[in-house]
Structure 1
């Protein structure tokens, strides 16, 4: 792949201060993209952006709460006023099962023991957040006549696994949302695709006191597994590709089938 293949591309990545979002923002930046590194504001986000900028990367700090329509609208205003366009939107911000059951890996909790508040908070972030961010930025892309929206998902196993309410339903809903978005936007020049790691990934979704469990998990993936596919989906090489569900661990096989390379 050519160096700096994303020069001139402006992207926004939500949930970019850690985990998959951090890895994807970094990959886009390293290929020459200008990136709004977005998450809830604070020292963590500021430190990440400063680290990127010290490497000479064109990173910009953008505070956003994906559960708040007004916060997202303010982020859109910043993008329009600062850049005048948005080429790539990566919906990644999410919370995990730890928020409703810190011991979810060892002591699965049946759905009827999940609190209504815990269910709502996770759905508001992982599913409604994707909708709110997309509905705010999609009109800008439609007006441009081009754009890429990439929604991050997880393995189908998480949508059927014991004790995985509400995380499983949130990702199943986000996948349905993605397919419908792709159809709604098919004639607009705006592509919508899904990307997922393809296995258990070291993302910080486990509570700190259980973080050593990552080391005992076989074939644990690094968030960097997302780098090549996210760069491809943001690049000119992905023109015309929409409505696809891409598994990062199977990216080489997928691209051979889909692109013939």
Structure 2
């Protein structure tokens, strides 16, 4: 529960994980700007969540979103980079009817890169000066499971999400001791959202609501100083105290746990 009125931007908030995360933040007292290109979907969000229609593939959207949040709340405390585009948008049965590397067109690659990588990176860049000015801010970015980043048939989704997570790892290092943190949150498996298309029995998929406990902890005072971590929502044990659940579900951001840093020339 926030100790004072705080504000959050949640992208991809018209449906799926973004919707439930926006509602969860509002329920604990955050002022929420819910961003999506689906205006009709946004209209169904409960008050006092503020809907804002924007397409992250549009370079002009980043400053528009940032200014809308400042106009609404006077500050930006939290950014949840959740918006994404999935391969089912091209082929609903793509899990069975695989999209091979050589089938991907340049336009498709540019679209996925724009939404899944450039969008969250550039929106983060737009809000950061306002967070750094106050020495306070939380950036939570939704990518995908590491296995999805390298599996067959997932050039578009997996590789664009990998680019985003790599960028967030760099940002986490740049933000060290700044008062602003960046962390990754992933569901940990196929989740019942519109993004997955024809992915099997939806009753057996992960529920979008599993994102809420780790998200609410990440934006709380308890998580002050937590930076450069990756959390798997499916591994978050709500029976444990939040700090213990975080230790169980967390790991270093990106691939730092297996990274071999390059040999640098001696000065």
The SS at the match of 1:38 is: strand
* CA displacement, residues 78-109 of structure 1 (integer Å, 9 cap, x when unaligned): 22222221110000110001133332111112
* Alignment match, 2:258: none
Contact 1:41 1:62 in 2 (8 A): no
Match of residue 246 from structure 1: 231
Query: Are the counterparts in 2 of residues 6 and 33 from structure 1 also a CA contact under 8 Å?
Result: no
Higher relative contact order (CA 8 A, sep 6+): 1
Residues 199-222 of structure 1: CA deviation (Å, up to 9, x unaligned): 110011134xx37x2337xx4100
Q: 1:175 to 1:119 in 2, by over 3 A?
A: same
Deviations 1:15-39 (A, max 9, x none): 0010110111111111121111111
Unaligned runs of 5+ in 2: 249-267
Deviations 1:224-253 (A, max 9, x none): 000101111111111000000000111237
- Which residue of structure 2 lines up, in the alignment, with residue 163 of structure 1? 153
RMSD over equivalenced CA pairs, Å: 2.0
Q: Is the 8 A contact 1:65 1:72 kept in 2?
A: no
| Equivalent residue, structure 2, for 1:214 | 201
1:205 is paired with a residue whose SS is helix
> Displacement of 1:5 after TM fit?
4.0
Give 1:6 deviation, angstroms: 6.1
Structure 1 residue 146 and structure 2 residue 136: aligned?
A: yes
The equivalent residue for 2:54 is: 64
Aligned partner of 1:231 in structure 2 is 216
In structure 1, C-alpha distance between the alignment counterparts of 2:3 and 2:111, rounded to whole Å = 35
* Conserved 8 A contact 2:100-2:152: yes
Q: Mapping of 1:32-47 within 5 angstroms?
A: 32-40=29-37, 42-47=39-44
Aligned length: 245
Q: After superposition, what is the alpha-carbon deviation per residue over 1:31-55, rounded to whole angstroms, capped at 9, x for unaligned? A: 121111111152221222xxx12xx
Partner Cα separation in structure 1 for residue 39 and residue 161 of structure 2: 27
Task: Give structure 1 stretches of 5+ with no counterpart.
Answer: none
In structure 2, the CA distance between the partners of 1:102 and 1:115, relative to structure 1 (3 Å rule), is farther
CA offsets per residue over residues 95-129 of structure 1, 9 Å max, x none? Answer: 00113333211111210111111111011100011
Tell me which moved more, 183-192 or 89-98.
Answer: 183-192
TM-score norm. by structure 1 comes to: 0.88
Partner of 2:164: 174
TM-score (norm 2): 0.86
| Distance of 1:7 and 1:229 partners within structure 2 | 20
